[in-house]
Amino acid sequence: MTHVTNELEKQILGSVSAASDEAALEAVRVGALGKKGQVSELLKSLGAMSPDERKVSGPLFNTLRDRVTDAIARRKTELQSAALDARLASERIDVTLPARIEPQGTIHPVSQVLDEVTAIFADLGFAVAEGPDIELDDYNFTKLNIPTDHPARQMHDTFYVAKQADGSRHVLRTHTSPVQVRTMLKTKPPIRIVAPGRTYRVDSDATHSPMFHQYEGLAVDEGITLGHLKWVLEEFYKAFFEVPKIELRARPSYFPFTEPSVEWDLRCDRSVPGKIVFGTGNDWLELAGSGTVHPRVLAMCGIDPEKYTGFAFGGGLDRLAMLKYGIPDIRPFFESDLRWLKHYGFPALDVPTLDGGLSR
């Protein structure tokens, strides 16, 4: 009998080691330990044996069953861990591989131009400042030398927010100039900031949108003049339009918060339809409002106008994007049309820098 069980054990254990996957192993298990399996049949045969025979065969069969069961369990663990190793090897991601070549999204032209503007001003030593979209009437107007009932309030078609319990009023800021106020109230000169951001006016046509973007610049220190402003604007527009030479023309203007006030135009050539060349030609393009910070604004913001002077400037960011990238209409900027975004958008991973290139 020992001979029979030894032979059977050898044969079954051979099949167990030869099973190359869990399905094959299961077939071996059923063949040995299943209802009609070889080992099960042996165990069943004990019932028909005499007590003496059973005493000899019982332990042999039970030992055989235990060995086969153990061998199958061991092989199962081996196969499972081999299968896991194979999966881990095949599903491994090489994190050093370059990112996917075709990113799905694009950077909106306004975001692109905002990054370009801040990169250039950062290089000129200007810090980025921010203010809220919902602004105090006081900062949007009064502290900028536009008191209540001043006719200049009509220059901006303002979105007003409901009056607060204390009677004060908020507005959707009509320009980024209140960031000048916020900056001067909390920092002392020397001040050099650029403040790009969202602005709002009741206005809508091909070049005006109820929500648009402006960039604002402010420098306050001892001895600041309009000469400094002109140099800063020249450097800025040269870098922004990526041309070696530009020509700016100053025109007298009026803003309640600057005195004197100057509007800047850029020489350009628009003789070829649909094309603008900067720096040459006989056309002029309106770019920014500016001026010397009004002494009353300095005083209202806690800065001594006897000691300090400053310049401020501001213009439309969407307008810069339209000019630089040849976008004819402002309205689709905010319509989330994927075809428009694909056409005018910028690659998501190209961050504009002065040395790496602003636009590619």
The piece of 72-80, 128-136, 206-214, 298-306 that touches ligand FA5 (CB under 6 A) is 206-214
Q: 327 in helix, strand or coil?
A: coil
Radius of gyration of the chain from its Cα atoms, rounded to whole angstroms: 40
Q: Does 135 bind ligand FA5 (CB under 6 A)?
A: no
- Site mask for ligand FA5 (CB under 6 A), range 10-49, x = bound: ----------------------------------------
Q: Does 214 bind ligand FA5 (CB under 6 A)?
A: yes
Using an 8 Å Cβ cutoff, are 217 and 304 in contact? no
The piece of 16-24, 67-75, 205-213, 239-247 that touches ligand FA5 (CB under 6 A) is 205-213
DSSP string, 235-258: HHHHHHHT-S---EEEEEEEETTE
Q: Does 324 bind ligand FA5 (CB under 6 A)?
A: no
Of 171, 184, 312, 321, the one binding ligand FA5 (CB under 6 A) is 312
* Residue placing its CB nearer to ligand FA5 in the complex, 240 or 255: 255
* Residue placing its CB nearer to ligand FA5 in the complex, 25 or 312: 312
Residue nearest to ligand FA5 (CB): 316
Q: Does 208 bind ligand FA5 (CB under 6 A)?
A: yes
Phi, psi of 115 (to 5 degrees): -65, -40
What is the Cα–Cα distance from 243 to 133, expressed in whole angstroms? Answer: 33
Q: Nearest distance from residue 297's CB to ligand FA5, in Å?
A: 10
Of 314, 321, 322, 324, the one binding ligand FA5 (CB under 6 A) is 314
Of 181, 347, 351, 152, the residue nearest 261 (C-alpha): 152
Q: Nearest distance from residue 209's CB to ligand FA5, in Å?
A: 5
Residue 134: CB atoms within 10 Å: 13
Q: Nearest distance from residue 271's CB to ligand FA5, in Å?
A: 23
Of 307, 302, 306, 324, the residue nearest 315 (C-alpha): 324
Using an 8 Å Cβ cutoff, are 189 and 303 in contact? yes
Q: 262 in helix, strand or coil?
A: strand
Of 203, 235, 259, 269, the one binding ligand FA5 (CB under 6 A) is 203
Taking CB under 6 A as the criterion, which residues in 329-358 touch ligand FA5? 330
- Site mask for ligand FA5 (CB under 6 A), range 241-280, x = bound: --------------x--x----------------------
Using an 8 Å Cβ cutoff, are 203 and 167 in contact? no
* Residue placing its CB nearer to ligand FA5 in the complex, 143 or 201: 201
What is the Cα–Cα distance from 311 to 184, expressed in whole angstroms? Answer: 13
Count the site residues for ligand FA5 by CB under 6 A: 22
Q: Does 318 bind ligand FA5 (CB under 6 A)?
A: yes
Q: Nearest distance from residue 171's CB to ligand FA5, in Å?
A: 13
Using an 8 Å Cβ cutoff, are 241 and 324 in contact? yes
Length of the chain measured in residues: 360
Tokens 């001026």 belong to 291
Q: Nearest distance from residue 323's CB to ligand FA5, in Å?
A: 10
Evaluate the CA torsion angle 57, 63, 66, 67 in order and state its sign: negative
Of 15, 118, 140, 209, the one binding ligand FA5 (CB under 6 A) is 209
Q: Nearest distance from residue 351's CB to ligand FA5, in Å?
A: 25
Q: DSSP class of residue 232?
A: H
Of 231, 215, 220, 131, the residue nearest 184 (C-alpha): 220
What is the Cα–Cα distance from 263 to 92, expressed in whole angstroms? Answer: 60
Using an 8 Å Cβ cutoff, are 213 and 194 in contact? no
Of 109, 196, 256, 291, the one binding ligand FA5 (CB under 6 A) is 291
Q: Where along the sequence are the contacts to ligand FA5 (CB under 6 A)?
A: 175, 177, 201, 203, 208-209, 212, 214, 216, 255, 258, 289-291, 312-316, 318-319, 330
